[in-house]
Copies of this chain bind each other. A is one copy, B any other.
Amino acid sequence: MAKLYFYYASMNAGKSTVLLQSSFNYRERGMNTLLFTAALDDRAGVGSIASRIGLSAPARLFEPGLDLFAAIAAAHAGETVHCVLVDEAQFLTQAQVWQLARVADELRIPVLCYGLRTDFLGALFEGSSALLAIADVLSEMKAVCSCGAKATMNLRIDGQGRAVTSGQQTEIGGNDRYVALCRRHFTAALGGHYQP
């Protein structure tokens, strides 16, 4: 039985590094992996996954309209796929998450999704919401707040380092616009309002 995994974390926990290492592990054993990342993530140039620590690998891009089950099934028909790895999984649509569940259940290929849990206001993304609902395994990757506690929230800051409290859920830009914080410091930075 293959499983659908969701490795969730805040910003800068090292998600891409762990994804690339997992793919490396499969390939080292002579197995074939398929990598995807969101089309809107431009950190690494078109069509690649890169980590802050200096690793990178080519990846297919997914956009909201892409049928991931069909795409993976087609690739699998050409060359056996042993593992699918998806970065920036918070940007998957709900339909795509169910397509990835079919990849696990029908094609029997394990699917490892890496992504953010919540946005800059503590709300779920569409992809993280669907993965938290139906993934077989939820596994947290730990990041650290400046106070030493576990960072679970993502604060958006402006050019002067001030907390941003409104705006689009997704804003194209570098990691320097976000800072990972524990819930207490996140709430304090938002002016003490817990309710989003």
- Partner-B contacts on A (CB < 8 A): 1, 12-14, 17-18, 20-22, 24-26, 28-31, 51-55, 82-83, 94-95, 98-99, 101-102, 105, 110, 117-118, 122-124, 129, 132-134, 136, 138, 140, 142-144, 146, 148-150, 152-153, 183-184, 187, 194-196
- 24 A-B residue pairs with CB within 8 Å: A1-B1, A1-B149, A14-B18, A14-B25, A17-B21, A18-B18, A18-B21, A21-B51, A24-B53, A25-B143, A26-B144, A28-B52, A31-B146, A31-B148, A54-B55, A95-B195, A98-B195, A101-B183, A123-B133, A132-B132, A134-B153, A136-B152, A136-B183, A138-B138
Q: How many copies of the shown chain assemble into the complex?
A: 4
Complex Cα gap A129–B153 (Å):
15
- Which residue, of A102, A122, A132, A138, has the highest number of chain B Cβ atoms within 10 A? A132
Of all chain B residues, the one with the shortest Cβ separation from A112 is B142
Q: Which of A13, A30, A99, A136 has the most CB of B within 10 A?
A: A136
By a CB distance below 8 angstroms, the chain B residues around A132 are 117, 124, 129, 132-133, 138
Given contacts A17-B21, A18-B21, A132-B133, 14 further A-B contacts (CB under 8 A): A14-B18, A22-B142, A24-B52, A24-B53, A25-B144, A31-B144, A53-B55, A94-B196, A110-B148, A118-B134, A122-B133, A132-B132, A136-B150, A138-B138
A116 to B134, CA, bound (A): 12
A136 to chain B, nearest CB (A): 7
